Amino acid sequence: ILNVEQSPQSLHVQEGDSTNFTCSFPSSNFYALHWYRWETAKSPEALFVMTLNGDEKKKGRISATLNTKEGYSYLYIKGSQPEDSATYLCASSNTGTASKLTFGTGTRLQVTL
Amino acid sequence: DAGVIQSPRHEVTEMGQEVTLRCKPISGHDYLFWYRQTMMRGLELLIYFNNNVPIDDSGMPEDRFSAKMPNASFSTLKIQPSEPRDSAVYFCASSFVSPWGVVYEKLFFGSGTQLSVL
């Protein structure tokens, strides 16, 4: 059973601050790592799917990196805005059950003016 | 495309009653997943289907839970009899196999069903 951990659990930053969160996952038999953004009262929306060690993905002010050898991924937000307030989930799968994602409990980000 | 459609959005029922949750995946998607969201355990995978066939139901809590996918455009998750500890948000999600061979791309989630069992 995969154990995906995210830190911190919650984060409160001011508008304009840059921030980052961590996702840790078992590195053995790694297959894919997903990041999702989940706004309150909405459903999770995919940000990135990464599979290769050293992968870096970017979407606007948000970017992510992947280290499959040591089992971690970072999500960065540059110049946080109030609309970035959401819970950020990561999920990983392994080669034995590539279709089966295990989610972390998320990092809840609050951006204030 | 309207995205993944779930119904009902909210369900309030009494303990012992049967509950049926419904999901229509995005047309053309090969995979359909049922997740449950609780404060204690986060998002848990209950069961998933590939081409309408159940592949892994190891996350289904017990025999009171069952899921079906009679065709590519419809799936149900049934709880019979329901209990207060089943109260949670149930999400359906769908996905597809990418041309590059990744087993599936990102998940597309429905809006969820908020279930309350009194």
Assess A44–B contact: CB distance below 8 Å, yes or no: yes
Q: Do A49 and B105 touch (CB under 8 A)?
A: yes
Assess B91–A contact: CB distance below 8 Å, yes or no: yes
DSSP string, A42-61: S--EEEEEE-STT-EEEETT
Q: Which of A5-9, A44-48, A93-97, B40-44 has the lowest mean pLDDT?
A: A93-97
Q: How far apart are CA B76 and CA A69, in angstroms?
A: 39
pLDDT-derived band of residue A54, with 50, 70 and 90 as boundaries?
very high
CB B34 within 8 A of CB B23: yes
Q: Which amino acid type is present at position B18?
A: E
The pLDDT score that the predictor gives to residue A96 is 61
The pLDDT score that the predictor gives to residue B103 is 59
Answer yes or no: is pLDDT of A34 > 90.
yes
pLDDT-derived band of residue A1, with 50, 70 and 90 as boundaries?
very low
Placement of tokens 């139901």 in the chain = B57
Task: Calculate mean pLDDT across residues B12-34.
Answer: 95
How close does chain B come to A108, measured CA to CA in Å? Answer: 13
Q: Cβ-count burial of B73 within 10 angstroms (0-12 exposed, 13-18 middle, 19+ buried)? A: middle
Q: In terms of pLDDT, which residue wins out, A95 or B48?
A: B48
For B62-110, the pLDDT digits (tens) are: 899 999 999 999 999 999 999 999 999 999 999 887 766 655 578 999 9
The rounded radius of gyration (Å) of the Cα atoms in chain B is 14
CB A90 within 8 A of CB A104: yes
- Report chain B residues whose CB lies below 8 A from the CB of A91: 43
Task: Calculate mean pLDDT across residues A47-55.
Answer: 92
For A62-93, the pLDDT digits (tens) are: 999 999 999 999 999 999 999 999 999 999 98
For B49-66, the pLDDT digits (tens) are: 999 999 999 999 889 999
- Report chain B residues whose CB lies below 8 A from the CB of A34: 106-107
Q: Which amino acid type is present at position B79?
A: I
Beta-sheet pairing, B65-71 with B10-13: unpaired
